[in-house]
Structure 1
Amino acid sequence: MTEDLTLSVDETLAALRAVGETTRLRLIALLAEAELTVKDATAILGQSQPRISRHLKLLAEADVIQRFPEGSWVYYRLADGPEGQLARGLVDRIASDDPVLAADQERFKSIRKAKAEEAAAYFAARALSWDKERALHIPEHDVEAAMRAALGDTPIHSFLDLGTGTGRLLEVFSDRYSNALGIDASHDMLAVARANLAEAGLANAQVRHGDVYALNVPPRSFDVIVIHQVLHFLDDPARALAEAARALRPGGRLLIADFAPHELEFLRDKHAHRRLGFAHEQMERWLHANELDLEQVTDLVPSQTDGTLLTVTLWLARDRRVITDLPARNPSREVA
């Protein structure tokens, strides 16, 4: 059943009134790009937090945007319903070179860059001990076993590990793929990964420096893509998932391993986490938006909870596009 995206006259006027103010229109233009917190919006628009909060409240009350509390933070994004679609349509009709919105976008890019640099510094400082720091959830070998079980025994021609870190998953799945590529933004992590792959004698696996938001790989070129404990470090997980979907072959599979929702706020300050886990519904919505069908969800719950152990969730999705006779290729060889 197709969702009804129509509005009555009164609903249309209410949405237009909500959007019809300079600050709120600027907010809508930003939210059309990515999710934001009040802190983000305050820095970009240069207005006080109470003022920004009030505008966001009015937009939420008009169903133009949605708010999603996550620990002590609240993320905002355009609503999926007709009011959100109406707002997006208005933004699409604003001149791309509008000086006000262009300045907002530049500040937005600066904030994103600063956050990326903060995360890169965190990873660089911890590259050598990274695999030993994952002690907040069930043993890593149990997570790896569950990931192998989720993908089954089907041979994999081309395997992509996004945010590969120390290259651990390239080793874990080495008996399943013909060739593999790991991508990471941290040169320090990649140095460790290369050493690990050389020690393991994995000549059919490579690692490359890259950006999960802008993958330098051919589209529709990987049979399986894995994203293991990466999304919670990202400011815009949905954007990374869209890039992953672009690189997935028709009928290919995407396997995500990340935390279920939790309230360990210290992970933001001490471990550079941007998101405190992901709900099943949120992940399914992101996957569906990228033409991926969620096939399996597995929660790996700790046997004993003492306030520090976290639940890890596995989401397995499949590209719903029809499989065609695409030529065989080695995508890892095509990366510049």
Structure 2
Amino acid sequence: MAGGKQDKALSVEATLGVLRAAGEATRLRLIALLAESELTVKDATAILGQSQPRISRHLKLLTEAGVILRFPEGAWVYYRLTDGPSGDLARDLVNRMSVEDPVLVADRERFKALRRAKAEEAAAFFARRAKTWDQERSLHAPDADVEAALLAAVGDTPFQSFLDLGTGTGRLLDLLREHYVSGLGIDASQEMLSVARANLAQSGLAHAQVRHGDICALAVPPKSFDLISIHQVLHYLDDPARALAEAARALRPGGRLLIIDFAPHDLEFLREDHAHRRLGFSHDQMERWLDTLELDLDAVTDLAPADSSDTKLTVTLWLARDRRIVTDVPLADPSREVA
């Protein structure tokens, strides 16, 4: 039988592998924690009160059994349950355990304390950046107007997978949470990822993750996302076309690319004070780039500031679609990284 439940079935050997991996107290506690959120070795060590080598060994065994995935991020490695049948079996085991078990209750309390500490750290980072960000925001249309236009462009039809490039605080992952089944945000800043993780945890967004990465060299499978967004990122890049090419590579046939950035302007101080590399993008330039990548421009929306002047910025939304024909060929799992 193709499709349906059969796709989620495990062989006898694979089932035994998951059960053997889960059949130890520390590993079962780790699985219970990972069912709620991704963790680093440092996180798990602090929560479970065990040594780093011991925790690393248990995580290695769970990884080898296909129960969890590992995502290197600089000097750190993040772990989470897989989205496939092995991960589903592990989640079933967790769901059958008593939520009032004193060991699990204590683990959850320590996990909550760890999250609170990270949220405080994220808030401190925001406080340091607030002045610069507020100055830039004051130059263009309110964020609420931009987000409303973004939601209108995406539409109401749900889709499977969402990739947010340069995710920053993870705002778009949260904004579009009702639209997608699985979401992934990628950013080059470790500090911003800490903010995003704190935000996703606070909002209870379990079907999205964030990863450290270079949007000009994506470690994701090709043809694996239904919607990809690049929100206020291209103007920071020396080579925006390269980032667009990487995004196009990751789009499924018929998938959509949503770009939000500034229209052309002459505010040179944004180069000096805000690290902007490009002073906006014209409609013609964007359409040429997209056409080269075999993407058709479906819609363009310009949001001019309420106070139109030479010192204000227009925000433009470009929505493009991959012109390849959708087929029934099985596609890659976007939750898995590639070398």
State TM-score, norm by structure 2.
0.60
Contact 1:127 1:166 in 2 (8 A): no
The residue number in structure 1 matching 2:254 is 251
**1:264–1:276 Cα contact (<8 Å) kept:** yes
Give the unaligned 5+ runs of structure 1. 1-123
Q: Distance in 2 between matches of 1:326 and 1:149?
A: 30
Residue of structure 2 in register with 1:190 after alignment: 193
Query: Structure 2: 5+ residue runs without aligned partners?
Result: 1-124
Report whether the alignment pairs 1:299 with 2:302. Answer: yes
Q: Structure 1 residue 327: deviation in Å?
A: 2.8
Q: Tell me whether 1:215 sits opposite 2:218 in the alignment.
A: yes
Deviation at 1:128, TM superposition (A): 5.2
Aligned-CA RMSD value: 1.9
AA of the residue aligned to 2:279: L
Q: What residue number does 1:177 align with?
A: 180
2:329 paired with 1:322: no
Deviations 1:126-176 (A, max 9, x none): 885386453321011111110110011110200000000111100110011
Give, in whole Å, the separation in 1 of the partners of 2:127 and 2:232.
15
The yes-or-no answer on 1:262 pairing with 2:265 is yes
Q: Secondary structure at the match of 1:332?
A: coil
Contact 2:221 2:333 in 1 (8 A): no
Provide the rounded CA distance (Å) in 2 between the counterparts of 1:303 and 1:138. Answer: 7
Cα distance, 1:332 vs structure 2: 2.8
| Change in CA separation of 1:196 and 1:148 when aligned onto 2, cut-off 3 Å | same
Give the Cα–Cα distance (whole angstroms) in 1 for the partners of residues 126 and 204 of structure 2: 26
Tell me the distance in 2 between the aligned counterparts of 1:292 and 1:161.
18
Contact kept in structure 2, 1:164 and 1:184, CA below 8 Å? yes
Per the alignment, residue 94 of structure 1 pairs with: none
Cα deviations across residues 9-37 of structure 1 (Å, max 9, x unaligned)? xxxxxxxxxxxxxxxxxxxxxxxxxxxxx
Whole-angstrom distance in 2 between the partners of 1:191 and 1:274: 25
Match of 1:141 in 2: 144
| 1:42-96 deviation digits (Å, cap 9, x = unpaired) | xxxxxxxxxxxxxxxxxxxxxxxxxxxxxxxxxxxxxxxxxxxxxxxxxxxxxxx
What amino acid does structure 1 have at the position aligned with 2:138? A
Q: Give the residue type in structure 2 aligned to 1:162.
A: L
Equivalents in 1 of 2:306, 2:295: separation in Å?
A: 31
Q: Which amino acid in the other structure matches residue 176 of structure 2? A: F
| Match in the other structure for 1:239 | 242
> Do residues 156 (structure 1) and 155 (structure 2) align?
no
Alpha-carbon distance in 2 for matches of 1:225, 1:257: 11
Equivalent position of 1:165 in the other structure: 168
Cα deviation 1:277-300 (Å, max 9, x = unaligned): 000000000000001001101111
Alignment-derived partner of residue 331 in structure 1: 334
Relative to the length of structure 1, the TM-score reads: 0.60
One-letter amino acid matched to 1:271: H
Residue 278 of structure 1 aligns with which residue? 281
Q: Is the 8 A contact 1:163 1:185 kept in 2?
A: yes
SS in 2 for 1:153: coil
Report deviation, 1:331. 1.1
Worse-superposed segment, 319-328 or 245-254: 319-328
How far has the Cα of 1:325 moved from its partner? Answer: 1.1
Q: Is the 8 A contact 2:221 2:332 kept in 1?
A: no
Give the Cα separation in 2 of the matches to 1:216 and 1:138: 33
**Does residue 287 of the first structure (1) align with residue 290 of the second (2)?**
yes
Between Structure 1 and Structure 2, how many residues are aligned? 213
